[in-house]
């Protein structure tokens, strides 16, 4: 089988802040860490990702980082955080949207651009994949890309997703459900 005939693989698309790492919470709203020193991987994340990777899923982080466009955090700092996450977790890729809503790009969630770009580049099958996020934009992007969706409900004081396939409290809980479904099929 030549490279052009490669089989499309299932993936787990993950938001970064609130799913992989702990966000800073102010007035019940989440904010991205602003330095590598503030970046803290959430409990259960390494085990969840290792189990999903072992089950054959590609692991792709798709993250909005509007603080870059807003001038609050340099792109180099976000890249260093993403580089560190890739070095300590079994991630295949981290796709970053550095825009704000006013930029009207196609990669900013809730648009599915980051997911569809990753699917093209890494030969992933969105309809066999999952999007796991903690905000409505994540879930909507996953739905628009054709993925099943997991909403990690962190109790933020903001708009909730209109609909999702599963509501969980952590990435580890989502991974258990995905892996259990795999053993049943």
Per DSSP, the residues of the chain read --GGGPPPB-EEEE-SBTTTBPPEEETTEEE--SSGGG--BPTTHHHHHHHHHHTT-EEEEEEE-HHHHTTSS-HHHHHHHHHHHHHHS--SEEEEE---GGG--SSSTTSSHHHHHHHHHHTB-GGG-EEEESSHHHHHHHHHHT-EEEEE----SSPPPS--SEEESSHHHHHHHHHHHHHH-
35-44's contacts with Cβ under 8 Å and 24+ in sequence apart are 35/77, 35/81, 36/77, 36/80, 36/81, 36/84, 39/81, 39/84, 39/85, 41/85, 41/88, 41/89, 42/170, 42/171, 43/170, 43/172, 44/170, 44/171, 44/172
Residue 153 annotated among the catalytic residues of the structure = no
pLDDT for res 1: 41
How much of the chain, in percent, has pLDDT values that exceed 90?
A: 93
pLDDT for res 6: 65
Residues 145, 119: contact at Cβ < 8 Å? yes
Which of 5, 15, 100, 101 is an active site residue? 15
Question: With bands split at pLDDT 50, 70 and 90, how would you rate the model's confidence at 184?
Answer: confident
Question: With bands split at pLDDT 50, 70 and 90, how would you rate the model's confidence at 28?
Answer: very high
Digit-coded pLDDT (tens) for 34-74: 999 999 999 999 999 999 999 999 999 999 999 999 999 99
Q: What are phi and psi of 164, to 5 degrees?
A: -160, 165
- Is 110 within the bounds of a domain? yes
pLDDT over 90 at 3, yes or no: no
pTM of the model: 0.94
pLDDT for res 2: 47
- Is 159 within the bounds of a domain? yes
Helix (H, G, I), strand (E, B) or coil at 89: coil
Which of 5, 17, 67, 92 is an active site residue? 17
Looking up residue 167, the CATH number of its domain turns out to be 3.40.50.1000
- Averaged pLDDT of the chain: 95
- Is 3 within the bounds of a domain? no
Range of the domain at 151: 8-184
Strand spans (E) along 82-175? 93-97, 130-133, 148-152, 166-168
- Is 82 within the bounds of a domain? yes
- Is 64 within the bounds of a domain? yes
- Is 178 within the bounds of a domain? yes
Digit-coded pLDDT (tens) for 145-161: 999 999 999 999 999 99
Residue 138 annotated among the catalytic residues of the structure = no
- Is 175 within the bounds of a domain? yes
pLDDT for res 138: 98
| Number of domains making up the chain | 1
Pairing label, strands 11-14, 58-64? parallel
pLDDT over 90 at 162, yes or no: yes
């Amino acid at each position: 089988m030549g490279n052009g005939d490669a089989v499309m693989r299932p993936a787990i698309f993950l938001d970064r802040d609130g799913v992989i790492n702990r966000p800073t919470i102010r007035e019940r709203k989440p904010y991205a860490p602003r330095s590598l020193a503030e970046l803290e991987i959430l409990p259960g994340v390494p085990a969840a990702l290792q189990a999903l990777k072992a089950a054959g899923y590609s692991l792709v982080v798709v993250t909005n980082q509007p603080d870059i466009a807003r001038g609050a955090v340099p792109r180099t700092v976000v890249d260093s955080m993403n580089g560190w996450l890739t070095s300590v977790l079994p991630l295949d890729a981290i796709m970053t949207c550095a825009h704000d809503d006013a930029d009207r790009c196609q990669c900013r969630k809730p648009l599915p651009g980051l997911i569809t770009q990753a699917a093209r580049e890494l030969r992933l099958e969105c309809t066999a994949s999952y999007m796991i996020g903690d905000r409505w934009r994540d879930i909507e992007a996953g739905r628009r890309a054709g993925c099943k969706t997991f909403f990690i409900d962190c109790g933020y004081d903001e708009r909730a997703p209109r609909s999702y396939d599963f509501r969980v409290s952590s990435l580890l809980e989502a991974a258990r459900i995905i892996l259990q479904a795999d053993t049943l099929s």
